[in-house]
Chains A and B, each alone.
Chain A
Amino acid sequence: DSGVTQTPKHLITATGQRVTLRCSPRSGDLSVYWYQQSLDQGLQFLIHYYNGEERAKGNILERFSAQQFPDLHSELNLSSLELGDSALYFCASSVRPGVTDTQYFGPGTRLTVL
């Protein structure tokens, strides 16, 4: 157990809908990262927050947004969902935002868009 928690574990929804995925980092970690794992793209970085501020963006679609709250938990919002958004979404956390700060991953949320 990495100490990173994610809810829900599974989510099934329809095209066009909007969902929110939640992540709680390890105790003491200030950085939160979101990754998408799909069958055809592998693990892809989406976005990084440090202490409430956005630090880096990857190939995140405009339909997706995220935020990190004062209590350091983070939410990833996915809107106007398409079939291709079906994937595993992982959150990771680290103590600081440095390159050598190890990222610890949560168990993921499996999103299925029908």
Chain B
Amino acid sequence: GENVGLHLPTLSVQEGDNSIINCAYSNSASDYFIWYKQESGKGPQFIIDIRSNMDKRQGQRVTVLLNKTVKHLSLQIAATQPGDSAVYFCAENINNAGNMLTFGGGTRLMVKP
């Protein structure tokens, strides 16, 4: 896959358990945050986003939490399934820097059946 050879933190969970993937961002001026999922051989797939004026947003089985005080973002996946196995990236966007996403290094999620 794309990330072979790239040292990625790995989270291994049992099927059915909840997963929490964390991300630290660096720019306090970031306005918008997105989580992407990347499966082997595919492009990043949008999961969920959150604006800087919010601290929590929920989707289907996923929740994103934003803590601007410590510049921390997390993605919670409920009842993790084998199909959730992928690399997850957080990305941030800064309003005055053009619409360019700055990606974190990624976390590999492995779901054990």
Instruction: Name A residues whose Cβ lies closer than 8 Å to a Cβ of B.
Output: 2, 4, 31, 33, 35, 37, 39-40, 42-45, 48, 55-56, 58, 88, 90, 92, 94, 97-108
Q: Are B31 and A99 in contact (CB under 8 A)?
A: yes
* Known interface pairs A56-B97, A99-B32; A42-B46 also in contact (CB < 8 Å): no
Q: Are A102 and B34 in contact (CB under 8 A)?
A: yes
- With both beta carbons as reference points, the residue of chain B lying nearest to A45 in the complex is identified as B100
Q: Are B98 and A88 in contact (CB under 8 A)?
A: no
Please give, as numbers and ranges, the residues of chain B lying within 8 Å of A56 by CB-CB distance. 97-100
Range for the number of chain B residues in contact with chain A: 20 to 34
What's the A-B contact tally at a CB cutoff of 8 Å? Answer: 78
Of the candidates B5, B32, B98, the one whose C-beta lies within 8 Å of that of A48 is: B98
- With both beta carbons as reference points, the residue of chain B lying nearest to A110 in the complex is identified as B2
Q: Are B99 and A107 in contact (CB under 8 A)?
A: no
Among all A-B residue pairs, the 3 with the closest Cβ atoms: A56-B98, A105-B43, A43-B103
B96 to chain A, nearest CB (A): 9
Q: Which of B44, B93, B94, B105 has the most CB of A within 10 A?
A: B44
Please give, as numbers and ranges, the residues of chain A lying within 8 Å of B98 by CB-CB distance. 48, 55-56, 97
Q: Are B100 and A58 in contact (CB under 8 A)?
A: yes
